A and B are shown apart, each in its own frame.
Chain A
Amino acid sequence: MKKDMTKLGVTLMLFASLACASLAVVYAFTKESIDKQSEMQLQASLKELFPQATAFDPIQDLVSPNPNFRFEAAYEVKSDMAPLGLAVKATGPSYGGNATLLVGIDLHRSVAGVRVMTLNDTPGLGMNASNPTYYVDKTKKMTFLGQFAGKFLTDPFEVKKDVVAITAATISSRSLTNIIKAAGNAAIAYMDQKAIAAPAEGDASAGDGAEANTQPQAGGK
């Protein structure tokens, strides 16, 4: 019996090590490409949020006051040395595990735009947050994240009040809204502390080209 157990254990170990070894090979093989993809995605999103920006300087000392939200990276966005705003890569809990968003805050203390980095919510429901053709407001062609563009952090950020929810995905809508709010507030605190402010003429308004949302907010349904 005892001999049997050792034999079984060794067999299992052999299979596991073989599987591990082959996984390690695939991982090493794909790692570079995966890192490149996520870096490309991040850079593309930063460019989308701040089209006029010429430099994104990483900043280290932006910490989250709430342990539920993590700021993986933050960038001071500049255009020829003049500040444009802050971009925060923030992770927080959502319906299907952690979601990572890139939140851009401009010098007027409003949201320049939001992009999804990773989201694992229900396909067809919560995942609609990252679907560019899913509109929470069809008449205005406004996507869920698009509605945050130009929104001031002084707003209450409450789903079904000043934020239109995704149909059948209230938890996702709420979670993502909270991540944006946490990232935004931290970014504003940072800008206040470092005295990064809009120049008097206020020409630094960062537009969100793809999801321009100049019309007034629709409010809850």
Chain B
Amino acid sequence: MKKLYSIFKQGIIFDNPLLMLMIGLCSAIAVTTNVSNGIGMGLAMTFVLLFSEVIISLFRKLIPTTIRIPIFIIVIAAFTTMVDLVMKAYFPDLSKSMGVFIPLIVVNCIIMGRVEAFASKQKLASVIADGLGMGLGYTWVLIAIAAVRELLGSGTLAGIQVMPASYQPILFFILPPGGFFVFSLFISLNIWLKKKMEASAKNKELVTKKEAA
């Protein structure tokens, strides 16, 4: 149980896919112009990641290594299309505002990376912990970046006006350069957080288990 928790924590902070592994950045910059997009994208991503990892992990002994990549892509693409269809059917507004980025989850390197590096070698329980950790790690970063960008760039949060009407939105934060700017701030925040947590862990003389990531 403790091992599972440490795998889960890896994804949230220590090996956060966006802030530490630095993969899957394009979607993170592109959709984080408002909070509801961030939540939608994060949850869609978590779903695809979790289920792709589960399927790959269950079938890992049946997948020949030579053609593992095409099989991974088939599995990931199938789940992504499912998410896309379900969103179109039941959350049309969200689906409309996310546009092309939901289908693009297929080529998101976080999923490919985790499936290849983790799910194809591990047992189901740790894979579920990893999928949830990585997915939610991705989600919280998206929501946090989107909150900062939307607040400063449009003066709203999830579409609701927060800033006073006299506030002149700073367009810079909505444009990609602003995305990179906010993103880099979160990277430094995460490194600071990581160092602090590692130091406190050492103080308690708890050796953090290093899982092959």
Contacts and interface: CB of A to CB of B under 8 A. Distances in A.
Contacts of A167: 171
Interface of B: 30-31, 33-34, 37, 59, 62-64, 66-67, 70-71, 74-75, 77-78, 81-82, 85-86, 88-90, 92, 96-101, 159, 171, 174-175
A96 to B, nearest CB: 6
A210 interface: no
Contact of B97 (A7, A34, A127): A127
A19 B77 contact: yes
A97 B100 contact: yes
Given A26-B82, A34-B88, A168-B175, A123 B71 contact: no
B86 A26 contact: yes
Contacts of A97: 100
A23 B78 contact: yes
Interface residues of A, number: 33
A119 B175 CA distance: 19
A220 interface: no
Interface in A75-129: 96-97, 118-125, 127
Contact of A37 (B63, B77, B89): B89
A75 B141 CA distance: 46
Residues of B contacting A: mostly = helix
Nearest to B72: A15
Contacts of B75: 15, 19
Interface in A1-43: 7-8, 11-12, 15-16, 19-20, 22-23, 26-27, 30-31, 33-34, 37, 41
B66 A119 contact: no
Given A22-B78, A26-B85, 5 more contacts: A26-B86, A33-B89, A41-B92, A123-B37, A130-B96
Nearest to B171: A167
Contacts of B74: 12, 15-16, 19
Contacts of A123: 30-31, 33, 37, 97-99, 101
Interface in A108-154: 118-125, 127, 130, 133
21 contacts: A7-B64, A8-B66, A12-B70, A19-B75, A26-B82, A26-B85, A26-B86, A30-B90, A31-B89, A34-B88, A37-B92, A41-B92, A119-B99, A120-B99, A123-B31, A123-B37, A123-B99, A123-B101, A124-B33, A130-B96, A168-B171
Contacts of A96: 99-100
Contacts of B99: 96, 119-121, 123, 127
B71 A12 contact: yes
